[in-house]
Structure 1
Amino acid sequence: MPPPQRADARRNYARILAVAGEAVAAKGADASLDDIAKKAGVGPGTLYRHFPTRQHLLDAVFHDRIVRLRDEAARLLDEEPDPVTALAAWLRAFIRHLQQYRGLSDALKAIYDHEDQLMIESRDLLRWSVGELLGRARAAGRVRPDIDASDLLRLGHGAGMVCEPDAEGDARAERFVSLLVDGLTVRTATNP
């Protein structure tokens, strides 16, 4: 979807998208569009000009969140020198995403098949994200060579689906990340 041209329209788009992301995280894919428009400080007409249907808005929220995960992977690759620490940090972000947006991905999966362009692009962005981090850790000899990006995404997905988005779920997610990283890490004489 091409970005709007005028500065005020771009700001409205970004504000609607941010508010919609919060609303979907809090209330699921059925969050009220009128409430989203009000909280974003725009009228319903402005919301519908940018997002003609609920589906368009959900697609944009989902894509925005996947792009944020990709951007987090790129940031960690640039800023975190320890490849295992970077991988663990990204897994935490991925699991948080799954905790917050589980209803969104379920709603989109019900509409799209696995060959839909949005699903393909999202899958590819996630695979790139974890693949780059995993590849760096593997090249450093820090993680098992028999784990691939798909394995790690499935393990992270499972952890995210069983952790509620609350304090107890956050603690459980942290434990799962620790267990995942521990299971991935190669043991050496210098790294017991």
Structure 2
Amino acid sequence: MPERGRLARHRERVLEAAAEVVGEDGTQASLRDVARRAGGGLGTLYRHFPARDALLETLLRTGFDQLAEEAGRLLDADLPRDRALADWLGGFTERAGAFRGLPASLMATLGDPDSALHASCLAMREAGGRLLRTAQEIGRIRPDVDGTDLFALADALSWIADQAPSIAARRDRLLALLMDGFAHPDAGRT
């Protein structure tokens, strides 16, 4: 039992250090720096997280879970369906910009079902997809927009802000333009 407690403490130290280092240096931060800041070596880090994606997935899972829960709350809220989708996408783009390099990592997971991040993102992407479909069902969003379009464009918005921090202040405006592009052509007539 004491061994299990020691391992759990090491794991928590690695996660705390990873949050700091990734927060400072982005998702491609040196794993050696993470291990060093945690007070251990790479062996300790790899014992708990066999790959970079596994470490990132653990760091990001809480945020992904919160986004999935938020989608459920927005589905139940008395909001126009396109507004609910826009609110959710705003939260997504904000969280995707939390760590430098995260938008690129999230895009890479779309095509890699074996990635730990892919599996962790799945519930979040499915929740966003439900918001999209409900807005489409009532004619607020174009029917040809699919989940891949939704996430690729929202992630692109996060990536732009990641690459040019001066653009981050324009995130809401860019999101509004994105939603205008998603809008069903007849939505304004109803």
TM-score, structure 2 normalization: 0.69
RMSD of Structure 2 on Structure 1 (CA) = 3.7
| Kept after mapping to 2: 8 A contact 1:58/1:104 | no
| Kept after mapping to 2: 8 A contact 1:26/1:100 | no
Match of 1:30 in 2: 29
1:151 to 149, 152, 165: 149
Could you tell me how far 1:123 is from its partner in structure 2? 4.8
The structure-2 alpha-carbon separation of the partners of 1:49 and 1:114, relative to structure 1 and needing over 3 Å to count, comes to: closer
Match of 1:40 in 2: none
The structure-2 alpha-carbon separation of the partners of 1:92 and 1:36, relative to structure 1 and needing over 3 Å to count, comes to: farther
For the residue of structure 2 that corresponds to 1:145, the secondary structure is coil
Superposition pairs for residues 53-68 of structure 1, below 5 Å? 55=52, 56-68=54-66
Match of 2:135 in 1: 137
The structure-2 alpha-carbon separation of the partners of 1:106 and 1:165, relative to structure 1 and needing over 3 Å to count, comes to: closer
Could you tell me how far 1:115 is from its partner in structure 2? 3.4
The residue type equivalent to 2:29 in the other structure is: D
Match of 1:179 in 2: 177
Percent of residue pairs bearing the same amino acid type: 31
Superposition pairs for residues 79-118 of structure 1, below 5 Å? 79=77, 81-104=79-102, 106=104, 114-118=112-116
For the residue of structure 2 that corresponds to 1:114, the secondary structure is coil
| Kept after mapping to 2: 8 A contact 1:24/1:104 | no
| Kept after mapping to 1: 8 A contact 2:107/2:155 | no
Q: Does 1:160 align with 2:158?
A: yes
For residues 136 and 53 of structure 1, the distance between their equivalents in structure 2, rounded to whole angstroms, comes to 39
For residues 109 and 182 of structure 1, the distance between their equivalents in structure 2, rounded to whole angstroms, comes to 23
Structure 1, unmatched stretches of 5+, are: 38-42
| Kept after mapping to 2: 8 A contact 1:88/1:181 | yes
Aligned residue pairs total 177
For the residue of structure 1 that corresponds to 2:170, the secondary structure is helix
